[in-house]
Amino acid sequence: MATVDLARRAEIGRLKRARTRATIIEAALGLVRSKGLESPTIDDFIVAAEVARGTFYNHFETRDELLLALGSHVADAIDELILPHFAGVDDPAQRIAIAIRQFVLAARQHPEWGHILVRTLHGAEGGWSEGMRRGVLADIRKGKRLGRFRFESTQAAVAIGIGALAMAIRTTLTEKTPADFGETMAMLSLRALGVETQEAERIARLPLR
């Protein structure tokens, strides 16, 4: 009896805590969407989330920690978005094209994700960014092994891949881009990696499942 109660109570507490945390994160995403990552202050965040100052600090020790949490949040969302499209796709060229296209789509629909992604791509502080980087690296290596890609320096290949991705997102955020901008960027990126134009074009425009 008592133990059931205790367990329930604890559960409820945990739920409430999680909800508050989610509230803060959602509100923060809204702010980032309109104002970018750098300008909002902790005060802006708590006003937007309609929580007390102390509540913020109960959940995040510092502003940076919130930004990190936003990063994780977006990482999860992106994973959820992309992984299904990866299912059963082994060709590294296809995978890279899919990633670029999906990231551009995501940035178009969720500018806040875009802001966060660009930051994540640039600051190489481990975590998801590291995972992503490793994924790209693995695909690039595999592509080379399979003869799909041709380049001398893996470091340069990764650099141009990440650079293209970052710039694709950035451009989506700041300029008006056509509906197939993702496909176009994917094509150019594949070409950089050594895929022939025709083939790059074909892969970049394969229908997504």
Q: Is there binding between residue 59 and DNA (CB under 7 A)?
A: yes
Regarding 181 and contact with its own copies (CB under 8 A), the answer is yes
* Cα 39 from Cα 194, distance rounded (Å): 40
Residue type, 43: D
Member of 170, 199, 205, 206 binding its own copies (CB under 8 A): 170
Burial of 69 (0-12, 13-18, 19+ CB in 10 A): middle
Let me know: does 26 contact 74? Beta carbons within 8 Å. Answer: no
In angstroms, give the least distance from the CB of 25 to DNA: 12
Q: How far is the CB of 115 from DNA (least distance, A)?
A: 16
Which amino acid, one-letter code, is at 191? R
Question: Is residue 30 within 8 Å of 112, Cβ to Cβ?
Answer: yes
Binding site residues, DNA, CB under 7 A: 9-10, 12-14, 16-17, 19-20, 41-43, 51-55, 57-59, 61-64
Binding site residues, its own copies, CB under 8 A: 122, 124, 150-153, 155-157, 159-160, 162-164, 166-168, 170-171, 174-175, 177-178, 181, 184-185, 188-189, 191-194, 197
